[in-house]
Amino acid sequence: MSTATPSNRAKHKPKLELDPIVIRKARSLARKAGAPVVKLARTHTTVSVERAVLRLAGLSGADHDGVPWVNHLVDSVRGEVGLEHGVTTPVFDALRRGEAPDLLTLAQKSAAGSVSFRLPQGREGSAAQSLALRSVKPGMARIDKNRVTRDRLIKRHGDPKQRPWIYLIVATGDIYEDIPQAQTAAREGADVIAVIRSTGQSLLDFVPEGATREGYAGTYATQENFRLMRAALDDVSKELGRYIRLVNYASGLCMPEIATMAGLERLDMMLNDSMYGILFRDINPIRTFVDQRFSRQIHARAGIIINTGEDNYLTTADAVDAAHTVTVSQLMNEYFAKEAGLQDWQLGLGHAFEINPDIPDSFRMELAQALLARQLFPNAPLKWMPPTKHMTGDVFRGYLLDGFFNLVGAMTGQDILLVGMMTEAVVTPFLSDRDLALQNVRYVLNAAGNLSEDFHPPRDGFIQTRARQVLSEAVDLLERIVDDSGEPGSVPLLRAIGDGTFGLMKRPADAGKGLDGVVKRAPGYDNPATTLLEAGDTK
């Protein structure tokens, strides 16, 4: 196991008497539901996948209007010969024919309409594909080197001595303000810093360029911002004697590109959920699943831990009635992640403390849900999310709720704990708010951090019964998805999403943002990045 992975798994001993046959059935059904989606992803590409390949080949930068050169080049190729065979074959054929001396110049000429593309055949096609493969290898090698560097720095500086890792959000909109806030948070005890993304960036079909100083409720995800924050956290890691992890968001219309940039700049975790963009940003389901598979292949290669977004379902659906949809989504995320090459230690599957606190036994139900996730995925670094939906603006009540959330995390052996803020739903937290929130976490973990060793819910008691009920309902839902007979050739999971099964959001497969960026692959489609990712080497 890599030194970059969570350890300390011995504490995660089964505490719920779940039927192993039911668990196996749940995973089998998830596999049956997910396989047609994977087939869809393997037979399609998107404009963002093709742009990500060009980024791996070294193309970066933007024109004076901020439009990235990768967008110009992909759009030009698509306009002339289409993307059904991949962008790299016509691009590297053009370079071989002397249309330009390098990718940047070719992109600039394509933007001016002064270059022509073709689909080369025979030996010329093979030569173009060979050149494309050689050109992508240095980018992949850089990702590999960053993974080695991460392991070396963790060995040098050390990992946090306790679980869960304390995960804190920074979000000012200005990368140069984010940096000192992130470093201060690390000094106050945060182990993982998430630079939350500017509102609406997930709907941009391009990645902004350079360091950014303006963003609404977050900071733009750019490669330069990634580089700056990674360097700053490396400095504070050295100062503190523990490796501080960096998180951003690989979601939205540019998921493959942002995942690629994360690998190139040594980020450690990425928000990457298989259905979040579909449900909460109305991004086309096929676009999302195609982009998601490529992005997760990059994460697998880079040694990045993904964080999934099941907590979001409970902001629109009831956390008691819809609890089983969270479990179904976790099982689907696990299947899609492993199919793309991710290992258990990279699966930061999400769940949340979102049951209405006014409901009797709400705390016991939260314990049941957290234990269920812990037992279903014993080797995954689960990401436990704090209360948000039922935060009222009463900061004293909110601080108490966050304390209960932290206590469940301690009692159920969570691995990644996102710090709750008492000012949730009131203001963007100040540094003082973050400091108080971290004090809350530190108190609970110091006082009850090993409580998971002693906590065993009674046989057939409330907690075990509730967990079995949720798992049974999850199996029932998966069976309905798999057995749902629709039009010939239709995909059951896509139909379920279209029917509003998850988060009460109805998202049909033939609608949504980004649909026009989906392309069915033709025979002979070539993607040198996929070739390297699936081969597992860059030599």
The set of catalytic residues is 276, 311, 383
Say how many CA atoms lie within 13 Å of 40 toward its Cβ.
22
Residues 6+ apart with CB under 8 A from 8: 163
Helix, strand, or coil here: 124? helix
Query: Whole-angstrom Cα distance, residue 228 to residue 78?
Result: 34
Mark 19-46 as b/e (b = at least 16 C-beta within 10 Å). Answer: eeeeeeebeebbbbbbebbbebbeebbb
Strands 518-520 and 44-46, how do they pair? antiparallel
Tokens of 239: 């100062």
Within a 10 A sphere around the Cβ of 396, how many other Cβ atoms?
8
Say how many CA atoms lie within 13 Å of 316 toward its Cβ.
16
Provide φ and ψ at 68, rounded to 5°: -60, 150
Residue among 312, 350, 324, 316 nearest 467 (CA) = 324
Question: Which amino acid, one-letter code, is at 285?
Answer: P
Phi/psi class of residue 380: alpha, beta or left (left: φ > 0; alpha: ψ in -120 to 50)?
Answer: beta
Within a 10 A sphere around the Cβ of 112, how many other Cβ atoms?
10
The neighbouring-strand residues paired with 168 are 193
Within a 10 A sphere around the Cβ of 480, how many other Cβ atoms?
13
The residue to which tokens 């039922």 are assigned: 390
Within a 10 A sphere around the Cβ of 341, how many other Cβ atoms?
17
Q: Is 141 exposed, middle or buried (0-12, 13-18, 19+ CB in 10 A)?
A: middle
Query: Whole-angstrom Cα distance, residue 445 to residue 480?
Result: 41
Query: C-alpha 438: how far from its chain's center?
Result: 24
Mark 265-297 as b/e (b = at least 16 C-beta within 10 Å). Answer: bbbbbbbbbbbbbbbbbebbbbbbbbbbbbbbb
Residue among 289, 347, 274 nearest 502 (CA) = 274
Torsion of CA 440, 454, 331, 253, to 10 degrees: 20
Helix, strand, or coil here: 92? helix
Provide φ and ψ at 169, rounded to 5°: -95, 140
